[in-house]
Structure 1
Amino acid sequence: MNPSADGDAPLLEVKLLRLFDLLYSTHSVTHAAELLGQSQPTVSIWLARLREQLGDPLFVRTPSGMQPTPRAEALIPIARSALESLRKLATEDAGFEPATAERRFCICMTDASHITLLPQLLAHVRSTAPGVRLEAGRIDATTGERLQSGEADIALGLIPELGAGFYQQVLFTQDWVCLANRHHPRIDGELTLDDYCREGHIGIVSGTGSRILASALEDRGIDRRIVLELPGFLGLAAILSTTDLIVTLPRQTGETLGRTADLRVLPCPFPIPSFTVKQHWHARYHHDAGNRWLRGVCAGLFLHNRTN
């Protein structure tokens, strides 16, 4: 085999590998030419090139046809393995079989989604993909980098800072409600704007949603009397159940907490812009079979379903 200018052995063309395999199987140049859809003179030229590149006659004429030389015998397993690898590369779509897959998926989400989305997602995954492990990651300044690197697979929420290089799909729209103790001493049925301004509030201070609420309050000139600030929704239901405080929060979270903690869900007494919850993923993983499966699960569970 002659070395190329850069010191590496020249690569065999795929057509020469196929010829090598067919000659070994058929022992006939004529038959190999038919299977390749080529003329016999063309195949003879290919065989001459193959012999030159491999530095061996490879096949010799005998009464029983073209028989392989010892070097051809030694090379045929390698050639067939290379052809099989090329076929897989060209045709195989690495699918994802949830029933048998063993894979970890990291989903970046807010702690509100731990309450509203994660239970349904986990139940579905456990029933359809028992070997899959889920990890709930945070949404923060590193979310984009984690999605790009593959450390995280998708992100669920309102993440307007994700721009070029990311795909997104709207799942549902969120508006706002207020939540209070079902036995609140001063609120019975309707929450008026006067009630809202008079009562003590719990302020949730993290996330894009909190900025939307703060902007709406500023536009209306409403100054809430904040008694307690929380970084998220952990412990919120227990606090509301044991105090006379109220909280303003996205409807899905409010209705979920209202059901599970027997709290009163009240219409917000002033308009707050709604927002969309989306799933986000990086373009690098747009065609990854596992990522496609996970996105399909989330769409099937949450698409256009506001309160789930």
Structure 2
Amino acid sequence: MHDHHDTSDYFDVRQLQLLDVLYTTRSVTRAAERLGQTQPTVSTWLKQIRDKVGDPLFVRTAKEMVPTPRADVLVEKAREILEAMRQISGAVPRFDPATSNRVFRICAPDSAHITMIPRLLQCIRGIAPNVQVETLPVNDNSARLLESGEADLAYGGFIPGMDTGFYQQALIKQDFICLASMDHPRIQGRMALEDYGREAHVAVSYGGIHGVNALIKSALHASHIERRVLLTLTGFLGIGKVIATTDLITTLPRNIGETLASQYGLQILECPVGIPTYMIKQYWHARYHRDPGNQWLRKLCAQYAE
């Protein structure tokens, strides 16, 4: 009698996907989000897999689920099988905005919270009512988050570590404008270079040596212009109120500058200093280049960056 394997011993596709996603996210909660399932469902699948294999596969530590050596081997095989299945069927994993409850995470500067994000969300509310968006800060950790899938996209002008393994798309060219209060005692309608040198300024330290402030500083340095900075803020969102209520002025990228100006009723002035333009881009990791949810989000961000 020949040996006949009962196929009930085999993994099904969802179990393979769970192994793959759990290995990446190191968290049952995030794996459930990614797979669009509830946490109890994912826990049940994991228990079935553990029983089948006779190994815990993922061991809970204080911070995350750590894979066992057996999981390392299984996941490699699971990924080969999933890739082979994709090739055979030409099947792309589906993403349906109307029914998805996926959580998308975007690394973005606070300026995006009042420029791109509200427009993005207005659109998402209409076509994907259960999709959630979470913003994360842009910092040296952003690259790692994109690689592990803990973040889906990074958005902004100056994002560190986005070289090998990342795709990028240039979205908007940014030039610089200056803002002053409507009833500024010395500046009305236009601002000369001597005004710029004489007035007190608000600066933003966001982005450090790669940020907007560094770009402005090097342009001023090259033009031998001194800027008297009396207030430095870590983000963009507090500037509007300060400009509206004092005689300080500021130099900002056009996108955030125009948004703050309309919000607080400020004068927009042409910047008398030549500061180089830069691009706002979005970045994603090569591993998620074909992920349909990621593609959907990228398309929307590109549309609402404008």
Number of the residue aligned with 1:254: 257
Quick one: distance in 1 between partners of 2:12 and 2:295?
30
Number of the residue aligned with 1:65: none
Quick one: distance in 2 between partners of 1:249 and 1:94?
42
Q: How many residues align?
A: 233
Ranges in structure 2 where 5+ consecutive residues have no aligned partner:
17-80
| 1:147-199 alpha-carbon deviations (Å, 9 max, x no partner) | 00111100001225310000000111000000110110100111000000000
SS in 2 for 1:178: strand
| 1:253-282 alpha-carbon deviations (Å, 9 max, x no partner) | 111111111101100002100000000000
Number of the residue aligned with 1:52: 2
1:283 aligns with 2:286: yes
Number of the residue aligned with 2:184: 184
Letter in 2 for 1:54: H
CA gap 1:188/1:301 in 2 versus in 1, 3 angstroms:
same
Shift of 1:125: 1.1
Q: Determine if contact 2:143/2:160 at 8 Å carries over to the other structure.
A: no
Number of the residue aligned with 1:225: 228
Shift of 1:82: 7.3
Task: State the superposition RMSD in angstroms.
Answer: 2.4
Letter in 2 for 1:261: Y
Number of the residue aligned with 2:105: 106
CA gap 1:80/1:112 in 2 versus in 1, 3 angstroms:
closer
Letter in 1 for 2:197: C
Quick one: distance in 1 between partners of 2:124 and 2:187?
41
Number of the residue aligned with 1:196: 196
TM-score (normalizing by structure 1): 0.71
Quick one: distance in 1 between partners of 2:213 and 2:224?
16
SS in 2 for 1:54: coil
Number of the residue aligned with 1:295: 298
Quick one: distance in 2 between partners of 1:224 and 1:113?
26
Letter in 1 for 2:269: L
Number of the residue aligned with 2:131: 132
Equivalences for residues 110-189 of structure 1 within 5 A: 110-158=109-157, 159=159, 161-189=161-189
Shift of 1:217: 0.9
SS in 2 for 1:293: helix
- Quick check: which has more Rg, 1 or 2? 1
Any runs of at least 4 consecutive aligned residues in structure 1 with deviations exceeding 4 A, and if so which? 77-83, 85-89
1:267 aligns with 2:278: no
Ranges in structure 1 where 5+ consecutive residues have no aligned partner:
1-50, 56-74
Shift of 1:80: 11
Shift of 1:113: 1.0
Letter in 2 for 1:218: H
Quick one: distance in 1 between partners of 2:202 and 2:180?
10
Number of the residue aligned with 1:215: 218
CA gap 1:81/1:199 in 2 versus in 1, 3 angstroms:
closer
Shift of 1:248: 0.4
| 1:105-144 alpha-carbon deviations (Å, 9 max, x no partner) | 0000001111211111111111111110000110001010
Shift of 1:236: 1.1
Quick one: distance in 2 between partners of 1:165 and 1:267?
39
Quick one: distance in 2 between partners of 1:160 and 1:268?
27
Quick one: distance in 1 between partners of 2:130 and 2:218?
44
TM-score (normalizing by structure 2): 0.71
Quick one: distance in 2 between partners of 1:270 and 1:80?
68
Q: Determine if contact 2:108/2:137 at 8 Å carries over to the other structure.
A: yes
CA gap 1:282/1:82 in 2 versus in 1, 3 angstroms:
closer
Quick one: distance in 2 between partners of 1:216 and 1:81?
60
Q: Determine if contact 2:140/2:161 at 8 Å carries over to the other structure.
A: no
